[in-house]
Each structure stands twice: as structure tokens, then as C-alpha cells.
Chain A
């Protein structure tokens, strides 16, 4: 294996481990009553954002979702400012006005996470139009779930992006459930990627638990977009470890197969990648532990920063309405 690919696998692991630890701490905040409201955890889906974002350049755009922490971590967003935002602190990305569901990091090309399912899809499509208009060769990624693929915005956006050959990659994170509703009960196609054919664009199904597989298809889709050949629809088959949000025990997932969650968790993308790295001698266990320890330090600093940061003054509620 070439050394740059080896190095990339270690980078993938670093990003995925950071996502995992970040969200474990968010879940702790919730359990300890430190976090107002709710958060939708990305745990289990780490390989998707990691693989897709590895195919991007620094100035590319990304439209995120309510389950967006992983997307931001993958783009290298500041985890201190993310955590502070999730706790509603004035040091957060949005000074406490957005919370978990609306973290925006424009400096990382993040066009906003979105509380409305499917609403980010046309916004990312517009960013792709903007890139084409300005001739910058940037691409836009639009992440969304299986649920959003049933929204009108999905269909309208794919249609226009295809008609105008826009540099955008649509990524369905198919975790099988729209809150409690099983996608297989409300959609009569096995692969949502098949919907691409209705818009005359490639539709690709990939194992969303395999970061390398995701990276390979994303790389091709990004290259196609940069060549001016238009959009691609990627469907990443994945699973969320937790419920729809931190307060959802997700009992509904055992109704068809009592072992469903356990079976998916055997394919933990973070664990599988770590085992592969060590087994293939890409890095030693000691080297991996060193990386984990460094990330742990980063996470603990972020937790401390977020917990100790002040809440915004009420006057902050009245700013940033108009430019």
C-alpha cells in the first residue's frame, strides 16, 4: 500500500475518532442536564462524512442537516466553538442563537445545518450554481437523510442541478429511519440512489460503514462535478447508534428484527477501521493510542471551554436580525 494512502487511513481514523468522542461528550452534557434542548447524534455514521469530506478542497461548500455534528468535525470546524454553541454559550459559533441544529461555520464552507428536513438541499444547489456562475471550480456537497429524499426540495433540486450541470454531490445518509418510521415501509424502492435515474444523473450505492468505499465514490463524484459534468447522487447505507435525538430510546427499531441494532453495531466504522489499521500494520497500536490521547486532550479542552464559557447577555437576542 502506498504511503500516502496509509497516511490517509490514519487521518480518517483521527477524524472519525474525534467525531465519536465529541458526540459522546454531547450525550454526557444531555444526561447531566448541562444542555438545553436536544441534539441529534451522528454516532455510527462517521464513515460517511469522513469519506465524503476527504474528497473536498478547502474552499468547497457543504450543506448540513439537523444531524450535522459529524459534517462539521469532518471539515475541521473548531470543536470548542461547536461545543460552546451546543451549550448555548456566547463563545459558540452563533453566539448561542443556533444551538446543535443550526451550527454554521462559513469559514469552513458550511452553509448551515438545518432544522427543516430537506431544506438545505436547494441551498447547497444554489451554492453550486454560484460556484459555476463565478467560475471558481468549487463544488457543493449536500448531506441529507433518507427522510429528506421524500421531500419536494430533493426532487426539485436534483432536477435543476441535472438540467444545468451544476457542480453538486447529493449524499443520502440512509440510516433507515425517519424518526420512528421505517423507510422501507414508506418507500417502494430498495435503493434510494435509483431515484437518480429519474433525473438523468448517476446514482451510486455504497456501504456507509466503510470509509474507504465512501471516499472512493465521493472522489469520483467530486471529479465529475469539477469536470462540469453535473451532479451525482450517492446513497450511503448506514445506521445511527442512538435514537432520532438524545431523548429518544428508539425502541421502534426492534419491531422487525430484535437484533437489528446489535447487528449494525458489529460493523462499527470506527472500530473496524482501527482494527484494519493495526492488522495491516499501517500504524501500530501504540501509535493509534497516541492519536487517541491527543484527541482526548483536545476534547477535554473543548468540554472545559464550553462549560466555563458565559451565557450570552439577553441583549444578544436582538442582534444579527438585519445586516
Chain B
């Protein structure tokens, strides 16, 4: 075991995959000389050179589209979008092109590309640099969507994403980049579609994504002091979704909270809630609870931002409401 930051874990995954496979390259804004806006590719330009670590102009449609062209001609590009909000700048290349080319071609091509991009509010970055775009991409068929929680998960899921023969959106949480985590010396790829039960419990299930897995664990520790036993599931990937892990847990606890940073309406929490409703209906003692971002743009002022975004306190509040 060793202690590294979440950003360093991402960097290690990139480095190890580039070392392993000469067809892996990275491109995006500021990924080269400065090693990434969030320091997730430090040292890679020097090690792999300018052709494999490409600083691009501010042309998201252009370089994401180029990655599609690279992927269908034998390379494995890993594109960094500096903020997930920028997915909207290149939505055509993501949703109309990368996600659909295999289908439109009747399976003639594979599109092994990864888009890495940070989500999450909490930095006073306001409405265009704080959004969490997982629901947008998960809605459309053709993209896998991974949401690592810890540094270990970030490293393992990114390795899997790079080796996958499909387009993968890997969403990193920007509030975690500089935090330190304990991580195994050797991290193997973590399979997609297999949730991780990070804490066993009997009274309520909290199925969470990304940083909200850690916030759920912190909440569970407090609840334990009150005699409430919460089971926490790290969903790891939204597409594919490990429905069985959630359903099996709910059969045991009878109560479910889904915690995710996307906006509540048509978001990940509401989408999963309806996706599993038929399977868990008769096992539920209470309506499914959701902890997500309300349907307002993310505000700038900390006094407006922190009270509305998903947090440990929001999870605790929801648990207590449901156990009343």
C-alpha cells in the first residue's frame, strides 16, 4: 500500500497503459506541457513525446472528433475534457458520432476511445464549470459511463476503460483530485458492471456514485453511533449498471437511497430509481429516496452552493427522514 492523490492515481493509470500498449495516446487542452489542468498527466509529455501526449487548441468538437477517427483506425485515444460541462460543446461528436458509429455501420467498426472529464460542484466555479454530466451521456445508447470513487477505483476503472473496445466516459470528481488515498502498489483493471459493497449493513441501502460513495460511508459511520446500520454500495459504472447488487441489498434492508451529483429530474438517481422499481417494489418499506442536485443551475456564492449540493449531511437528512 502507498498513499497518493486521486490525480496521481489517474496519472499512474495513464502511464501504465501507455507503457503497456503503444496505441494508447492522450490528447486535450493543457494535457502536455503543464500536465493537465488538474495535474492528471504530469510527466507524460516528457516520457512519451509530443505525438502521444498532445496539447490541443481549444477546439472540443475538433479534437473529440479526431479521437473518433483515431479510434476507428486502430488507436486507443484518451481525451481529456477539462470540465464535463464542455461535453455540451462537443455533444455531436460524443452522442451522434462516437456512440452511434458502430451501430450505424452494422458492427463494422469498434470505437475504443475514452473521454475523461471532471464533475462536481463545491469550488465556487458557478454554473458552467460545476455540472455533473453523467445522466446526459448515460441517456443515449452507445457510451459506457464509469464514475470512480477513490484513487484506487480511479486507477482500476480507467485501466478498464482504456482496454474496453467501446467509447467510455470516465467521470472523475474534481473535489477529490488533491485528496490523499491509500492505494495498492499494483492496481488491476476493475471490471465494469460490477458494483462494490463498501460497507455492509441491515437497515438501509445507500447506492452511490463517485465522491458520494465516500460521503455515504462517512454518513454511515455517524449513523452507526445512533444504532442505524447502513449498507453502502459503490455503483462504479452507470452503464453498464449492476442492478442486481442494488436489488439484492434492498431485499435485505427494505429501504433505498440513491446518491448522485446529477440534477434530480431525469438524473441518475431518478433514472435508477425507476429502472429498478419493478424489481424492488414489494420489498420496500418506504419510497426510494434520492440525494441529488436540485434543478437549479449551480450558483457561485458558497452560501448558495454548499447548502444545495449533495453532501454527507444531505444523506444523513434523507436517512433520518426515511427511518422516521
Binding site for B on A (CB under 8 A): 61, 63, 92-98, 102, 104-106, 111-112, 114-116, 119, 121-134, 140, 152-153, 156-157, 159-160, 163, 319-323
CB distance from A57 to the nearest CB of B (A): 15
Please list 26 pairs of residues, one from A and one from B, whose beta carbons are closer than 8 Å in the complex, sorted by A's number.
A97-B104, A97-B106, A102-B104, A104-B104, A104-B108, A104-B109, A111-B73, A116-B97, A119-B93, A119-B97, A121-B65, A122-B69, A122-B93, A123-B65, A123-B97, A125-B66, A132-B51, A133-B52, A134-B75, A156-B61, A156-B63, A159-B62, A160-B56, A163-B57, A321-B102, A323-B102
- B69–A126 contact, CB under 8 A? yes
Q: For the complex, what is the distance from the CA of A98 to the CA of B107, rounded to whole Å?
A: 11
Q: For the complex, what is the distance from the CA of A134 to the CA of B103, rounded to whole Å?
A: 26
Contacts of A130 in B (CB 8 A): 69-70, 73-75
Q: Mark B6-45, 1 if CB is under 8 A from A, else 0.
A: 0000000000000000000100000000000000000000
Contacts of B69 in A (CB 8 A): 63, 111, 122-130, 140
Contacts of B313 in A (CB 8 A): none
Contacts of B303 in A (CB 8 A): none
> Counting CB contacts under 8 A, is B125 at the interface?
no
- A92–B57 contact, CB under 8 A? no
CB distance from A70 to the nearest CB of B (A): 19
CB distance from B49 to the nearest CB of A (A): 11
- B109–A123 contact, CB under 8 A? no
- A106–B105 contact, CB under 8 A? yes
CB distance from A176 to the nearest CB of B (A): 25
CB distance from B166 to the nearest CB of A (A): 5
From residue 64 to 109 of chain B, which have CB atoms closer than 8 A to chain A?
A: 64-75, 77, 92-93, 96-97, 101-109
- A129–B97 contact, CB under 8 A? no
Contacts of B66 in A (CB 8 A): 122-123, 125-126, 129, 157, 160
- A122–B165 contact, CB under 8 A? no
Contacts of A61 in B (CB 8 A): 73
Q: For the complex, what is the distance from the CA of A94 to the CA of B75, rounded to whole Å?
A: 23
- The verdict on A122 contacting B105 (CB below 8 Å), with A130-B75, A131-B73, A160-B56 known, is no
Q: For the complex, what is the distance from the CA of A128 to the CA of B74, rounded to whole Å?
A: 12
CB distance from A112 to the nearest CB of B (A): 6
- A160–B57 contact, CB under 8 A? yes
Binding site for A on B (CB under 8 A): 25, 51-52, 56-57, 59, 61-75, 77, 92-93, 96-97, 101-112, 141-142, 144, 165-166
Q: For the complex, what is the distance from the CA of A119 to the CA of B108, rounded to whole Å?
A: 19
Partner of B63, one of A93, A115, A160: A160
Q: For the complex, what is the distance from the CA of A159 to the CA of B144, rounded to whole Å?
A: 30
Q: Which residue of B lies closest to A131 (CB)?
A: B73
CB distance from B168 to the nearest CB of A (A): 10
Q: Which residue of A lies closest to B106 (CB)?
A: A94
Contacts of A126 in B (CB 8 A): 65-71, 73, 77
Q: Which residue of B lies closest to A317 (CB)?
A: B103
- B104–A112 contact, CB under 8 A? yes
- A112–B105 contact, CB under 8 A? yes
Contacts of B51 in A (CB 8 A): 132-133
- The verdict on A156 contacting B92 (CB below 8 Å), with A104-B109, A130-B73, A320-B106 known, is no
- B62–A116 contact, CB under 8 A? no
- The verdict on A123 contacting B68 (CB below 8 Å), with A153-B61, A322-B144 known, is yes
Q: For the complex, what is the distance from the CA of A156 to the CA of B71, rounded to whole Å?
A: 19
Contacts of B61 in A (CB 8 A): 122, 152-153, 156
Contacts of A114 in B (CB 8 A): 97
Q: Which residue of B lies closest to A132 (CB)?
A: B51
Q: For the complex, what is the distance from the CA of A131 to the CA of B106, rounded to whole Å?
A: 24
- B105–A94 contact, CB under 8 A? yes
- A119–B105 contact, CB under 8 A? no
Q: For the complex, what is the distance from the CA of A153 to the CA of B92, rounded to whole Å?
A: 10
CB distance from B92 to the nearest CB of A (A): 6
Q: For the complex, what is the distance from the CA of A92 to the CA of B69, rounded to whole Å?
A: 23
Q: Which residue of A lies closest to B61 (CB)?
A: A153
- The verdict on A127 contacting B63 (CB below 8 Å), with A93-B108, A319-B107, A321-B103 known, is no
- The verdict on A125 contacting B65 (CB below 8 Å), with A106-B108, A319-B107 known, is yes
Contacts of A111 in B (CB 8 A): 69, 72-73
- A323–B110 contact, CB under 8 A? yes
Q: Would you list the 4 A-B pairs with minimal beta carbon distance, nearest first?
A: A126-B69, A122-B65, A156-B62, A94-B106
CB distance from A199 to the nearest CB of B (A): 11
Q: Which residue of A lies closest to B113 (CB)?
A: A126
Contacts of A157 in B (CB 8 A): 62, 65-66
Q: Which residue of A lies closest to B59 (CB)?
A: A156
CB distance from B308 to the nearest CB of A (A): 34
Contacts of A140 in B (CB 8 A): 69
Contacts of B107 in A (CB 8 A): 95, 319-320, 323
Contacts of B105 in A (CB 8 A): 93-94, 97-98, 102, 104, 106, 112, 320
Q: For the complex, what is the distance from the CA of A153 to the CA of B62, rounded to whole Å?
A: 6
Q: Which residue of B lies closest to A122 (CB)?
A: B65
Q: For the complex, what is the distance from the CA of A296 to the CA of B75, rounded to whole Å?
A: 41
Q: Which residue of A lies closest to B60 (CB)?
A: A156
Given contacts A94-B104, A133-B70, A323-B112, 20 further A-B contacts (CB under 8 A): A94-B105, A94-B106, A98-B106, A112-B72, A119-B96, A123-B97, A125-B62, A125-B66, A126-B71, A126-B77, A130-B74, A133-B25, A152-B62, A156-B57, A163-B57, A321-B103, A321-B142, A322-B144, A323-B102, A323-B107
